[in-house]
Amino acid sequence: MSKVTCDVSVTLDGFSAGPNQSEARPFGDVDGEALHRWMFEQAEQNAAEVADILTARAYIMGRNMFGPIRGDWDRPWRGWWGEDPPYHSPVFVLTHYAHEPLPMQGGTTFYFVTDGIESALAQAREAAGDGEVSIAGGAHTVSQYLVAGAIDELRLHVTPVTFGQGERIFDGVGPLNLEQIGEATGTDLVTHLKYRVVR
């Protein structure tokens, strides 16, 4: 069975996004770029971690991560990433509203799953074969899979900023037993922590 991983950038106070997310401000009323500066400004120093994020054979994300549209799909939307998203694999988007699959350049196709997290995981596992499935986010989606006990490996990329409010991946999750894998690594913009979720 394919391993299920989750890579998420968080602030020192545990937030992965701020409040009041919108199309104009995808990370809400905070400096969302601070969460991901390490991926772009220090890509070479963090090459192993960037590679880990992009090695999955299938991804799962929440509708909020896919885009700002709520309710019915009342206008065209093709994601935040342009015509060639970085995934280059099938991406299963959790939603309550049906939508036809959305093929993109580079091998990414967005599939819209309306029947819950278990169905999305089953479809992602089938698509991934013996490769990894990655829970891409956002916070609510990660927490749902943590509660379900479906994540095998949690990779936190902790950035030296605080938001004070917003969305945390551990909200409502309850106790977890995490076993650190290897030593913490990083740069001045990020500390990488890798954990096995012990069941």
User: What digits encode the pLDDT tens for the residues 22-35?
Assistant: 888 888 899 888 99
In this predicted structure, what is the pLDDT of residue 1? 80
Question: What distance in Å separates the CA atoms of residue 52 and residue 165, rounded to the nearest whole number?
Answer: 28
Give the domain ranges of the chain: 4-16+29-67+82-197
In this predicted structure, what is the pLDDT of residue 199? 86
For residue 112, is pLDDT > 90? yes
User: What one-letter code names the amino acid at 143?
Assistant: S
- Helix H segments across the chain? 33-41, 47-53, 63-66, 117-128, 139-147
Reported confidence tier of residue 77, pLDDT bands at 50, 70, 90? very high
Q: Report the percent of the chain where pLDDT is more than 90.
A: 87
In this predicted structure, what is the pLDDT of residue 119? 98
The sign of the dihedral angle between the CA atoms of 116, 18, 9, 45 is positive
User: What digits encode the pLDDT tens for the residues 40-72?
Assistant: 999 999 999 999 999 999 999 999 999 988 899
Reported confidence tier of residue 92, pLDDT bands at 50, 70, 90? very high
Question: What distance in Å separates the CA atoms of residue 87 and residue 181, rounded to the nearest whole number?
Answer: 25
Contact 134, 7 (CB under 8 A): yes
Residue with tokens 């993109």: 104
Contact 131, 58 (CB under 8 A): yes
Reported confidence tier of residue 146, pLDDT bands at 50, 70, 90? very high
- CATH class of the region 4-16+29-67+82-197: alpha beta
Beta bridge partners of 90: 109
Question: What distance in Å separates the CA atoms of residue 133 and residue 124, rounded to the nearest whole number?
Answer: 6
Contact 139, 167 (CB under 8 A): yes
Question: What distance in Å separates the CA atoms of residue 15 and residue 7, rounded to the nearest whole number?
Answer: 14
| Chain mean pLDDT for the chain | 95
pTM: 0.95
Question: What distance in Å separates the CA atoms of residue 94 and residue 28, rounded to the nearest whole number?
Answer: 20
Mean pLDDT of 134-161: 97
